[in-house]
Amino acid sequence: MEEQKEPPFKESFDSRKLKPPNKKKFEEELERLTNKLKELESQYAGLKSSISSSPLKSIRLEKDATFDRNKKINNDLKSLNKEISEKIYSVSQLQSGLVYKNEDKHNDAIRKLEWNLAHHSYRLTEERRIVAEIDKLKRSKISLNTYNNAKAQLDELRNKQRRMREERDHYSRTITQLRSQEDEAKRKLSANRITAEALKKEIDELYAAKRKLYEDFKRNQAEFQDAQKKKRQESFKKKEEERKAVLEAKQREEEELEELRVPYEQDKLLCNTLISYLQGFPYTPFTPTTPTTPTTPSTDSPTSCSDKLPYSSGASSGPAEELEDGNLILLKKSEDNDFIGGNVKKTQKKRGKSRKPSMTKLITHCPEVITQFASLNLRAPCSVQEIPASLEQLRARKLYYEQISETQSTVSLTESGICEMSRQASNTESCGSACETRPSDHILDEIVGGKDYCPEFPEVESFTQIPELQSMEGSETPRNLSVSSGSVMSTDVEEFDSNGQSLESSGHLSHIDQSEFSLHHKKVTKSLNEVLKIQSETVSQSENKSKLNQPEALLHNSVEKSNCMESGDARPKTLNVKSHEGDIVDSGIVSDITEESNAMSYNENEKLSGTDIPKSGKNSSLAETKEYNEQSETTKL
């Protein structure tokens, strides 16, 4: 059998590492190896089956059986030969005692001797010899039968011996043939084994080539995938860097836009939107009242001024009618049909009682509107009666955002001036010598001090605008914001508009005189130290200072309020209060004093005068508070 051994497939991808391995060629070579393996394995399986089904075993079994039978025949033949020998000896002895080997001859001899004896006269000796010879023949005749029987048995044994010898010869020839067959089977089996070993070796080589081919393909594929992965990583890294650069550029652009954006612009737009939204509802605006004649509200049934103004949506206005308290209302035009003809009498319906409940009509807002009010720390009006107060709150909040945006713009301009002055000071220090120029500490002190170094920036006195105090029932001001010299203070007080009407909501601001506010911003070129302090102050710090560190200032402020109320002046004097730390607290923008601050001033007056003053709470009226302030001032004087 000719054995053809092909070298295992090996493809080199060294020069094409960046290209994928040739999968088609790999599959073709793999299929070729697989087909050849199948062919060789089929041949090997046939040889194994021929080896396992070799006739050598059966030949050996048959030879062994024949050999056993031959051996048995040989043993039987040996015993038979011995028996035949014994039988020949006995036959020979019997044959020696016979006169004749034929019975007829015996009979003829006996008859002749008896006739001679009967017809002739012999002497006694001869006669005895003839009689003895007749007896011998008769005894020989009897031995002849035994001889014949023994001779027949001997012949039978010899026939058996001959048959056994023939069978032995047959077995010997069979054994010889089986031995030749066994030798031939051994030779074929040996040749098949040699062929099977060669096939097995070739199959192993093909399997090794197949494994190597698969490993090479996988290795090249892994190298290609690694190269692709590195390439993708580099591409991803490059894209990530580009994305980061784009994000950084976008962030810088957003920061630049944020720097250029007007502060609180969205809040102001939201205030305008909500004002337009509320103005779309039918409502009765607040009616101005005389500041010199404040009314004392009833604590049992708190109502606002708007409760006294009946209103009916969708009706035209008629002539004004004056109420007992001096307020004016518009009468509604008759709702009768203008086109009723004939003599039908028009009847006037009294709508006075039906108009008043319309002021308490509930308003339904969508969730977006409620969320917008909540973003401004305000409460959406629940009824038509609360719309005027909400409008005043929104206008005050809008004014506050305008003020704080202008203040922040001024602070940013001042900070730019600080940076420019610092840069100029550093340049001056680096250019001049130590003897000609002042030390940097002195320059910084002058920059921070501001007066000697920058005499063109005078100190600005604070101013105050407090509207006239009038009692309004049902007002709730949980949180108010006030601005003082660029800082923000939070006070929890009741606020009133310029007409003396209460503003109901949490966190709105009082009106500020626009002329004074513009004057304030014209003078906001303070010293650098004050600007830095104003920038660092927060709402909570200003609130703590106003509540904890300035009880005397609050007391003085309440006394000034009482004086203003007695004198009828709508705008009290400016209060410039200095805290224990030396910071200026400008109460000019603060609209009112908190109830807690009033309580502190009442306690201070109580210590001075010894007079018991009841605590101001939610149920106490503002008129009683004003009366207590007057009494405290009188006692102090």
Per-residue model confidence as pLDDT tens digits over 494-504: 333 433 333 33
Cβ neighbours for 98, distance < 8 A, ≥ 6 positions apart:
140, 143, 144, 147
In a domain, 380, yes or no: no
Mark which of 206, 238, 258 sits at the end of a domain: 258
Domain that holds residue 224: 22-258
Kindly state the tokens that stand for 109: 């001899």
pLDDT at 622: 53
Tens digits of per-residue pLDDT, 221-241? 898 889 889 989 999 999 999
| Distance of alpha carbon 378 from alpha carbon 284, whole angstroms | 21
What contacts 24+ positions apart, CB below 8 Å, involve 7-15? 7/209, 8/205, 8/206, 8/208, 8/209, 8/210, 8/212, 8/213, 9/33, 9/209, 9/212, 9/213, 10/212, 10/213, 10/216, 11/213, 11/216, 11/217, 11/220, 13/220, 13/223, 13/224
The most confident of the ranges 100-114, 144-158, 503-517 is 144-158
Query: Residue 578's beta-bridge partner residues?
Result: 584
Q: Is the pLDDT of residue 207 over 90?
A: yes
In a domain, 350, yes or no: no
Kindly state the tokens that stand for 438: 């002042």
Kindly state the tokens that stand for 121: 């006269």
What contacts 24+ positions apart, CB below 8 Å, involve 202-207? 202/3, 202/5, 202/40, 203/37, 203/40, 203/41, 203/44, 205/5, 205/8, 206/8, 206/33, 206/36, 206/37, 206/40, 207/37
In degrees, to the nearest 5, what angle opens at C-alpha 431 toward C-alphas 430 and 437? Answer: 85
Tokens 């009290």 identify what position? 572
- Percent of the chain scoring above 90 in pLDDT: 11
CB atoms within 10 A of CB 490: 18
Q: Rounded to the nearest 5°, which phi and psi values hold at 321?
A: -125, 130
Tens digits of per-residue pLDDT, 411-463? 666 666 676 666 666 665 555 444 444 444 444 444 444 444 333 333 333 33
pLDDT at 216: 92
pLDDT at 197: 92
In a domain, 282, yes or no: no
Amino acid at 489: M
| Distance of alpha carbon 440 from alpha carbon 101, whole angstroms | 177
Count Cβ atoms within 10 A of the Cβ of residue 562 and give its class: 0-12 exposed, 13-18 middle, 19 or more buried.
buried
Helix or strand (DSSP H, E) at 584:
strand 584-586
pLDDT at 530: 57
Q: How many residues does the chain have?
A: 637
Query: Residue 484's beta-bridge partner residues?
Result: 487
pLDDT at 35: 92
Distance between start and end Cα atoms, the chain:
140
Q: Three-state SS for 489?
A: strand
Tens digits of per-residue pLDDT, 122-172? 788 888 888 888 878 777 777 777 888 888 888 888 898 899 889 999 998
Tens digits of per-residue pLDDT, 257-289? 877 777 788 888 889 898 999 888 887 665 544
Q: Pick the range with the lowest mean pLDDT from 101-105, 251-255, 608-612.
A: 608-612
Q: Is the pLDDT of residue 68 over 50?
A: yes
| Distance of alpha carbon 97 from alpha carbon 136, whole angstroms | 10
Kindly state the tokens that stand for 137: 């023949």
In a domain, 595, yes or no: yes
Query: What is the total count of domains within the chain?
Result: 2
In a domain, 611, yes or no: yes
In a domain, 407, yes or no: no
Q: Between these two residues, 48 and 138, which has the higher pLDDT value?
A: 48
Residue-averaged pLDDT of the chain: 65
In a domain, 374, yes or no: no
Mark which of 258, 279, 305 sits at the end of a domain: 258
What number of helices (H) and strands (E) belong to the chain? Answer: 15, 6
Tens digits of per-residue pLDDT, 581-607? 334 334 333 334 334 444 444 444 444
Mark which of 258, 281, 311 sits at the end of a domain: 258
CATH number for position 77: 1.10.287.2610
In a domain, 616, yes or no: yes
pLDDT at 422: 66
Query: Residue 483's beta-bridge partner residues?
Result: 488
